[in-house]
Structure 1
């Protein structure tokens, strides 16, 4: 009853604090987190007092404390906890209207009793100790970025932050690659709940949707513990967003960007409406609700008049519009509110954020020159992204309830024009495609954490819902052809290819809708084992996914007996399908959708685990246990057949062990073994066949695909010369059974990109990470504030595949998506007492295999490229404002995929290599301003 009254009081207060702007009182506060020195676990119920006063409190269920109403000055803080050595820290300074963040670590007292020993220290030294503990105490081999590091960087979103993680690479400014493995071998969680794939045709998450200033911490685990989801091999990316802010604030940010290949250039597109700028199509492109069904169209049930009426109901604007590409623009509004209740340690917090981005980019002269085609494309993409985040949290006593919500919507409207020659057809080609994709993600998580008893045990529960929508209304494609031998005659003209309807020239209406439901329960109990403190943890988790995918391929087939057929086929695109041509009977309505092109699917994953975190003496730590996962996936095409249906069940036992030996306070030796999984995505299982006009191939799933099992082993040496700095060397080995890979299936002479299970795959590599100030060169202030960081990964992979029943050319090759090396390097310097920050970043990823080769179509490789980024951030207006300048991809190297015909592992057209795709994306320059009230 008491907790209900507290909750009611908090909600009433929340309405007040969110609506009104709060003015800081003439006082400040001190807040922070208290953790165990050896394990990094937060401590519940630690007494925190201001020495010489009655002010104080106990840490909450997250190990956090907040002492408010303090006058300007320096204070001594006293930390006491049963079974731990106390601490008395001097020099903790409070400034009016500010929040002093102060994290502390406590060490077990052994046989000593409370208050027998109190260690005295200073604010600065203890802050450094806390950062050391955070770095060293991960149970697994991992790399992370805290909110404090993010604050000092100019990163705008989570994908920018991930660029700083060892062994991580960002593709397309949003997809992450860990240890050179393709993104399908990673998993991601947001606030403890698994994130679904945001992409319709791949297992990947778009990490640019979470603003960096709302991230509490970001951790990439490269080894597994039983409490982590099992479906990863490269890395498990765990993002925690903030819930209770440190202070009340309002932050507003604006920015603009210039792309050297696009901005202020002529920008072509289909019809544009005002709602496009807000991320929503106005509905004109959607398939009418009363449009005839596929069976009525192909069954001949429509009269000529009904067919004409149906064609006239479809969107009819095929005109190409010319505009000027505007600069990239982005806006962000964030509101943070926190309410400390004076009569208790209870606290309510709220964070609300709104983001908007719009860009108009051009890919000029995209070269596609291979096998039978020599094409040049110009691609114009209009993109709008809107996002919202709303987090609420309430702590009362030793409990905490959070309600976290995120919504993101992406509107990508692309227009492609192509010109070139097709040698198989002996025709000059002009091809046009209008393609809109609307993607949205909504995710809501309710979570509770409750301390039980006085021994620091706790229970954590969560309920989560997510919805993913991918809506592709009216993707329009059409090809014109001309016979070069007709030059000089009346027949030397481009004629529309409307005689037949195929997936290459049809209109695609597709919609994917997926609902995810998940729940989890975890229990943590501190225990004594072998005379040392240990932690026992157990939990259960379930995830249910339900997807529906519908696709219609509709086309207008030319009526060859129409008297105007020849004249209409010579019309330009804007009038090819004009109403006068439709009404004259020049076209028949056709629908070429296959039964397998639409499907429903659902999956259920149930997991349970047992885990122990043991310490052996002062230096050894072992985190070990087992996870068991039961997985069922069911997929049915619109008309299910044995060739298009899936009903698979798996039960997997997944052991893991992570051992850490602390040679010194600054040096760790780590070793681990763990078993993980890679499960096929719905799209990889579905027989749906979609024509990709950029790849010039069909994309199709494989219902016979099975889950992959991977055995992993890692060793690592890590040295922390100073707080925030690291030197580490790692080695790892991964053995895949049934690895999931894409390949060119060309048994029928046409190229279909689909998926296979490769029998045996071995991956091994080494990683070097170095993050160090340059003060070892000379003890100067300039070098002390200059940080050089680099991480280098060298990786070798080998695939051995049984060719039985599969049209594969290479049975021994590198793994698809596995880069042989990754280089990240950077230089960071802080000027003017940290008011001016400079970053220079370099990235290079080695040549990697994107699609395994078939017999007729070789393997597709992606050439390496050099990427250099520069970032400058200047704090202004009493550090409340910040101006940022970013220069991205300054070198503007080509992005190239190719056939390596001479097998020299280099891209060289002069030596016969054929180009799948090659273009320069342009360099990006942006300026932004952010101000916090």
Structure 2
């Protein structure tokens, strides 16, 4: 009998488990229409079965149901109920309702009825956030990124109004870049990956890891104060509402670049295809440990050191392969001891090849005779260039959520390797237009590792909340064994001539930067005159360190190089028979060109705090008022050119000295007037700041052997103070449609720009220049073409235009330089354009979406006006 009971119990248990396993789940999110935020406490039920759930603090809910088609209903006291029909549940699967919009009850409306298909669009969700945001924001959703087909953030972000990309890597908002535009990751600051810029290279972020991109165009005190053009927030994917697994493969073919037998490359490492060097290009000798003896000493160690360097110096031809890309991602959420456990994992790989059969790079100057107007080439490079770029990235994260708490841990690693090979003809006007033939081999590897640990906690009936984040980021950029070999043609005699064309060089450049960021925000909802308002206070700490060094080596030749039989072949430099030995007495040897002024270290610490209130002053007018305070400190370790020589009394040495310390208040006022239900007028004013980078506020003197230009740091730089004014009118039609028109105006005190030196135009130094102003106009339209004919309901037009006028006052030094470069009959204005500021940015596109057959197509267009890159002086033009 006991055995029979056991068998029957087992049968019923397995049966019940089987029935449960055949059920499906309805998951979704309830949003409050007035705020655009997830809504807590919404009752979501299936009236026909009685099954239901209550939304949590994120607005999330989950209902288990047997397979079938249902109608569900969402209710909350004082709000219109929402009924959603045609919700299909399948066995063992999750049906996701991305958004249920809850609106406060109006007497004429008691219920809103929609179908499940009508709410499946993240574009609408992003526009709702934009409509209700305290900031003036623009953005692009993952759905729109998918339509455009952009593979990295640099390609996607330029479709946002007023945003452009420079050099394929650097984001400009409203024409302002570098120090004036900030990029953050999940709301947290990350280090840049370029020693020459005060900005992060955003092409390193693949779009398949991204949830959305949001651009803040007005400052509020909960953002960092170094805010001028705008702040770009890259939000990585969180765990999904249903189990998803995606695998995609892509390939691209360009007949002018791929399957070309004349593609240039060189002998690379065995792991280049994974985006990093296997050690083939490692530095074999640490130049910081001391000089290499000269051959005249007969020291045998010279030969040993010379042989330790990779002998490959010349580019070679090979067959170029087409571009390939692979991405894999998976995610889900499951029940775990009464909690929701979510996870996500993603891997992205791309390998792209670019080939320019005749790349041209030239610098022009004005003729010495001021009656001549045509620019002449000072230096001109022409010739083939091959580039191979490999990127491998991964994202992994888990989240744990209860009714009142949510924890998130996420790690992301990105590695990128880029090799370049070129064989170029160089003509210089300053050496009688002699011709040189230059082999140029380069490799750059970039690494970025970011960890995010975050928590959210809700209490007092969800009227109060605390959100905290801790995020360390480790970044490295490593230029490994950059090789430049110039052969000069002197009346048919092809030699390496140090005086005419320069000697052969090999360079290693390393930057390590680490950011430690922590922040906490407290939110308290309260009633002001019976209207919902919010108080927000918070604090943050950002600590950065940077270590930068360059090691440079020259290739010397002892004796008559005609005996080496080089014949213009760079690879013969390190041929066995051409290396200097004590017995031979002639040949090639390595020279240590290490200069201490090329290296520096730095630290930055920023302690910030703020208080702000979102105050509903009337039914139509809301104000966001607050102030931020920041204590900024910067320390520097390094020497100037004279300080590199311990015997030079004019040398300046810094040893972890505090070179900048400031305490500032940053007020902000934003006003939002709700003209009608779907229309807002926004006005804002704020004070913000822009600060010099590690490299700029330094005594470093760094020469670029490729261009011949020398960067000279400026330890006396001061901060740039900025006043920001914004005005915008926006109207939301619904279903992701909107139109907006606005203007902005900014004033700059002590802006920082790169300026050429009067006596040495190839020397560039950051300076605080004259005061500047920027005035701009912005327009955006997203509209379905169904107003023309219902047949065009699925076709929509998207366009945004930004027009700017930026002026900088010319100071006395620049005025003198411009006067010296005037041609006969010319004059110059007391103002000029702002560096990097395009006069216009235009985006346009057509999107077609078939909601029934689930496919989309898009045609997009992007263009921007010419920009000033470097300010000219004397005969050197802008």
The answer for the alignment partner of 1:405 in structure 2 is: 411
- Residue 367 (1) aligns with residue 360 (2): yes
Q: How many residues align?
A: 815
- Residue 272 (1) aligns with residue 242 (2): no
Q: Bigger CA drift: 358-367 or 432-441?
A: 358-367
The answer for the alignment partner of 2:307 in structure 1 is: 312
Q: Of 274, 280, 284, which aligns to 2:280?
A: 284
Note the alpha carbon deviations across 1:346-389, whole angstroms, 9 max, x for none.
21111111111111211232234424334313221111111111
Q: Bigger CA drift: 24-33 or 97-106?
A: 24-33
The answer for the alignment partner of 1:837 in structure 2 is: 856
The answer for the alignment partner of 1:357 in structure 2 is: 350
Would the aligned equivalents of 2:179 and 2:692 in 1 still touch at CA under 8 Å?
A: no
Aligned-residue RMSD, C-alpha: 2.9
- How far does residue 653 in structure 1 lie from its aligned partner after superposition? 1.0
Alignment partners' CA distance in 1, 2:450 and 2:501: 40
Local SS of the residue matching 1:775 = helix
The answer for the alignment partner of 2:382 in structure 1 is: 376
The answer for the alignment partner of 1:424 in structure 2 is: 430
Local SS of the residue matching 1:311 = helix
Local SS of the residue matching 2:273 = helix
The answer for the alignment partner of 2:630 in structure 1 is: 629
Local SS of the residue matching 1:850 = coil
* Alpha-carbon distance change, 27 to 352 in structure 1, aligned in 2, over 3 angstroms: same
- Residue 514 (1) aligns with residue 513 (2): yes
Alignment partners' CA distance in 1, 2:436 and 2:402: 69
Alignment partners' CA distance in 2, 1:730 and 1:365: 44
Alignment partners' CA distance in 2, 1:555 and 1:500: 15
Alignment partners' CA distance in 1, 2:816 and 2:497: 31
Would the aligned equivalents of 2:295 and 2:302 in 1 still touch at CA under 8 Å?
A: no
The answer for the alignment partner of 2:15 in structure 1 is: none
Q: Of 222, 227, 237, which aligns to 1:232?
A: 227
Alignment partners' CA distance in 2, 1:601 and 1:232: 22
Note the alpha carbon deviations across 1:844-890, whole angstroms, 9 max, x for none.
2111101111223111xxxxxxxxxxxxxxxxxxxxxxxxxxxxxxx
- How far does residue 459 in structure 1 lie from its aligned partner after superposition? 0.3
- How far does residue 843 in structure 1 lie from its aligned partner after superposition? 1.6
Would the aligned equivalents of 1:28 and 1:68 in 2 still touch at CA under 8 Å?
A: yes
The answer for the alignment partner of 1:702 in structure 2 is: 714
Gaps of 5+ in 2: 1-18, 366-377, 645-650, 819-827
Local SS of the residue matching 1:197 = coil
Q: Map of 1:690-769 to 2, 5 A cutoff?
A: 690-692=702-704, 695-748=707-760, 750-769=761-780
Alignment partners' CA distance in 1, 2:399 and 2:297: 59
* Alpha-carbon distance change, 621 to 500 in structure 1, aligned in 2, over 3 angstroms: same
The answer for the alignment partner of 1:38 in structure 2 is: 34
The answer for the alignment partner of 2:455 in structure 1 is: 448
- How far does residue 657 in structure 1 lie from its aligned partner after superposition? 1.3
* Alpha-carbon distance change, 50 to 161 in structure 1, aligned in 2, over 3 angstroms: farther
Note the alpha carbon deviations across 1:490-537, whole angstroms, 9 max, x for none.
xx22111357997x7421112111111111111000011232110100
- Residue 65 (1) aligns with residue 84 (2): no
Would the aligned equivalents of 1:401 and 1:447 in 2 still touch at CA under 8 Å?
A: yes
Local SS of the residue matching 1:851 = coil
- How far does residue 228 in structure 1 lie from its aligned partner after superposition? 1.4
The answer for the alignment partner of 1:473 in structure 2 is: 480
Q: Of 836, 846, 852, which aligns to 1:827?
A: 846
- How far does residue 632 in structure 1 lie from its aligned partner after superposition? 0.9
- Residue 85 (1) aligns with residue 79 (2): yes
Alignment partners' CA distance in 2, 1:150 and 1:269: 33
Alignment partners' CA distance in 2, 1:363 and 1:275: 24
Note the alpha carbon deviations across 1:20-67, whole angstroms, 9 max, x for none.
xxx995443333323333232333344433335453333333232232
- How far does residue 542 in structure 1 lie from its aligned partner after superposition? 0.6
* Alpha-carbon distance change, 575 to 102 in structure 1, aligned in 2, over 3 angstroms: closer
The answer for the alignment partner of 1:74 in structure 2 is: 70
Would the aligned equivalents of 1:60 and 1:395 in 2 still touch at CA under 8 Å?
A: no
- How far does residue 733 in structure 1 lie from its aligned partner after superposition? 0.1
Q: Of 157, 163, 172, which aligns to 2:158?
A: 163
Q: Map of 1:11-22 to 2, 5 A cutoff?
A: none
Alignment partners' CA distance in 1, 2:295 and 2:687: 56
Alignment partners' CA distance in 1, 2:706 and 2:64: 59
- Residue 813 (1) aligns with residue 828 (2): no
Local SS of the residue matching 2:290 = helix
Would the aligned equivalents of 2:191 and 2:513 in 1 still touch at CA under 8 Å?
A: no
Q: Map of 1:215-614 to 2, 5 A cutoff?
A: 215-265=210-260, 266-288=262-284, 291=286, 293=288, 295-297=290-292, 304-341=299-336, 344=338, 346-369=339-362, 370-371=364-365, 372-426=378-432, 427-483=434-490, 486=491, 492-498=492-498, 505-559=504-558, 562=559, 567=564, 570=567, 572-582=569-579, 583=581, 584=584, 585-614=586-615
* Alpha-carbon distance change, 517 to 204 in structure 1, aligned in 2, over 3 angstroms: same
Alignment partners' CA distance in 2, 1:238 and 1:57: 33
The answer for the alignment partner of 1:848 in structure 2 is: 867
Local SS of the residue matching 2:862 = strand
Alignment partners' CA distance in 1, 2:427 and 2:719: 42
Alignment partners' CA distance in 2, 1:613 and 1:787: 35
Would the aligned equivalents of 1:790 and 1:824 in 2 still touch at CA under 8 Å?
A: yes
Local SS of the residue matching 2:305 = helix
Local SS of the residue matching 1:848 = coil
Q: Of 44, 47, 65, which aligns to 1:48?
A: 44
**What TM-score, normalized to structure 1?**
0.82
Would the aligned equivalents of 1:373 and 1:421 in 2 still touch at CA under 8 Å?
A: yes
- How far does residue 284 in structure 1 lie from its aligned partner after superposition? 2.1
- How far does residue 419 in structure 1 lie from its aligned partner after superposition? 0.8
Would the aligned equivalents of 2:785 and 2:796 in 1 still touch at CA under 8 Å?
A: yes
Alignment partners' CA distance in 2, 1:332 and 1:24: 34
- How far does residue 814 in structure 1 lie from its aligned partner after superposition? 0.4
Note the alpha carbon deviations across 1:138-185, whole angstroms, 9 max, x for none.
112111233444455534333343233112223444432221223442
Local SS of the residue matching 1:424 = helix
The answer for the alignment partner of 1:5 in structure 2 is: none
* Alpha-carbon distance change, 831 to 635 in structure 1, aligned in 2, over 3 angstroms: same
- Residue 775 (1) aligns with residue 774 (2): no
* Alpha-carbon distance change, 518 to 338 in structure 1, aligned in 2, over 3 angstroms: same
- How far does residue 99 in structure 1 lie from its aligned partner after superposition? 2.0
* Alpha-carbon distance change, 834 to 704 in structure 1, aligned in 2, over 3 angstroms: farther
- How far does residue 420 in structure 1 lie from its aligned partner after superposition? 3.7
Q: Of 801, 804, 809, which aligns to 2:810?
A: 801
Would the aligned equivalents of 2:535 and 2:612 in 1 still touch at CA under 8 Å?
A: yes
Q: Of 781, 791, 795, which aligns to 1:786?
A: 795
Gaps of 5+ in 1: 1-22, 487-491, 860-933
Would the aligned equivalents of 2:44 and 2:72 in 1 still touch at CA under 8 Å?
A: no
Alignment partners' CA distance in 2, 1:837 and 1:126: 16
* Alpha-carbon distance change, 324 to 127 in structure 1, aligned in 2, over 3 angstroms: closer
Would the aligned equivalents of 1:720 and 1:726 in 2 still touch at CA under 8 Å?
A: yes
- How far does residue 234 in structure 1 lie from its aligned partner after superposition? 1.6
Would the aligned equivalents of 1:442 and 1:466 in 2 still touch at CA under 8 Å?
A: yes
* Alpha-carbon distance change, 616 to 591 in structure 1, aligned in 2, over 3 angstroms: same
- How far does residue 286 in structure 1 lie from its aligned partner after superposition? 1.1
- How far does residue 331 in structure 1 lie from its aligned partner after superposition? 0.7
Alignment partners' CA distance in 1, 2:488 and 2:604: 46
Note the alpha carbon deviations across 1:623-663, whole angstroms, 9 max, x for none.
11111111111121166854777611122211111111111
